[in-house]
Amino acid sequence: MLKGLKLRDLVIVGIILIIALGAAGYFLFVRDDNNSVNNDDDDDPVNKRPTADAGMDLVLTSGAEATLNGSGSFDPDGDELIYSWDLDSGVDSDNDGVLDNDRDIMGKEVTWVYVAREEITYIVTLNVTDTELFDTDTVRVTILPPKDDDPPEISMSCRYQAAIPPYLEAHYIITIDTASRTELISNYTYRLEDGSGDLILNGSVPDLILTPPNATIRFVDAPQLNRMSGNDMFYIKERGEISRDCVFYLFYNNLREPVGEIELTK
């Protein structure tokens, strides 16, 4: 009888314990989880992901300036955003094996000149980040081939650099001031003639890029790499028959007329 009572008491205590533990567990874990979410909402807001907007698709003629506008991007928290653009999903500029994550150019609104001989569509990827979270968006930039009846016009200026022995030979510096259209430098050839129109030097412009410092003529490809653009420069040493009154011509593709010319002047 006594033994039976004890057993019954133990069962009751056991049941009470199980209920108590279950309730404690509920309050400890389930309720606490809810509370922590509520607390975050009230006191310590969770950072929210920004939304990238790479702007409208573009269709442009080769050599025209493409404006990439990411100003439609936003961050729900109002965080300042960092904008980086991958200009070409076919090229892995940073060599990390991912084609569309390159930081080719930074800024909310940027410009770039695409050149192409045939119609091509580039996929441009905008990445925006609040430095913790990021989002990406893409825009298509379609480049149409240039019209052949519309050659670029190149304007140049020339200045003279006297020799500074033994460091510097005298040379002429020809600067591209403007190009009416941006084209790959591989479309250009040059020709240097003396005052009577006789040929001194000629060749293709890309061949002048990696020439040694003592070469008679060199080309320095300033901003807009591989494209004939403002601030690109030719360095021509004053040696032999190369002196003032020589004329430097730029030719475009197979056109017979030069697209730019400048007399070497002191």
Which residue blocks in the chain are alpha helix, DSSP H?
2-25, 32-42
Give bridge partners of residue 176 from the DSSP assignment. 156
Closer of 221 and 238 to Ca ion (Cβ): 221
Listed ranges 64-72, 114-122, 225-233, 245-253: which one lies at the site for Ca ion (CB under 5 A):
225-233
> Does the footprint of Ca ion cover residue 77 (CB under 5 A)?
yes
Angle at 241 between CA 236 and CA 244, to 5 degrees: 60
Closer of 206 and 258 to Ca ion (Cβ): 206
Which parts of 6-152 are beta strand (E)? 58-61, 65-69, 82-86, 105-106, 109-113, 120-129, 134-144
Closer of 110 and 242 to Ca ion (Cβ): 110
Q: How far is the CB of 128 from Ca ion (least distance, A)?
A: 10
> Does the footprint of Ca ion cover residue 183 (CB under 5 A)?
no
C-alpha 212: how far from chain center: 29
Q: How far is the CB of 41 from Ca ion (least distance, A)?
A: 15
240-243 CB contacts, 8 Å cutoff, 24+ apart: 241/194, 241/200, 242/172, 242/192, 242/200, 242/201, 242/216
Q: How far is the CB of 125 from Ca ion (least distance, A)?
A: 7
Residue whose tokens read 């500074």: 164
Closer of 121 and 243 to Ca ion (Cβ): 121
Q: How far is the CB of 63 from Ca ion (least distance, A)?
A: 12
User: Rounded to a whole number, what is the largest CA-CA distance in the chain?
Assistant: 135
Among 229, 235, 249, 260, binds Ca ion (CB under 5 A): 229
What span, in angstroms and rounded, lies between the C-alpha atoms of 260 and 230? 13
> Does the footprint of Ca ion cover residue 47 (CB under 5 A)?
yes
Listed ranges 81-89, 137-145, 156-164, 204-212: which one lies at the site for Ca ion (CB under 5 A):
81-89
Q: Which amino acid is at 83?
A: Y
Among 221, 249, 252, 262, binds Ca ion (CB under 5 A): 221
Among 53, 92, 177, 261, binds Ca ion (CB under 5 A): 92
Q: How far is the CB of 137 from Ca ion (least distance, A)?
A: 15
Q: Tokens for 19, please give them.
A: 């209920």
Closer of 176 and 192 to Ca ion (Cβ): 176
Q: Is the peptide bond before 213 cis (omega within 30 degrees of 0)?
A: no
Q: Tokens for 157, please give them.
A: 């200026």
Q: Provide the binding-site residues for Ca ion, judged by CB under 5 A.
A: 47-48, 75, 77, 79, 86, 88, 91-92, 94, 96, 98, 101-102, 130, 221, 224, 227, 229, 232
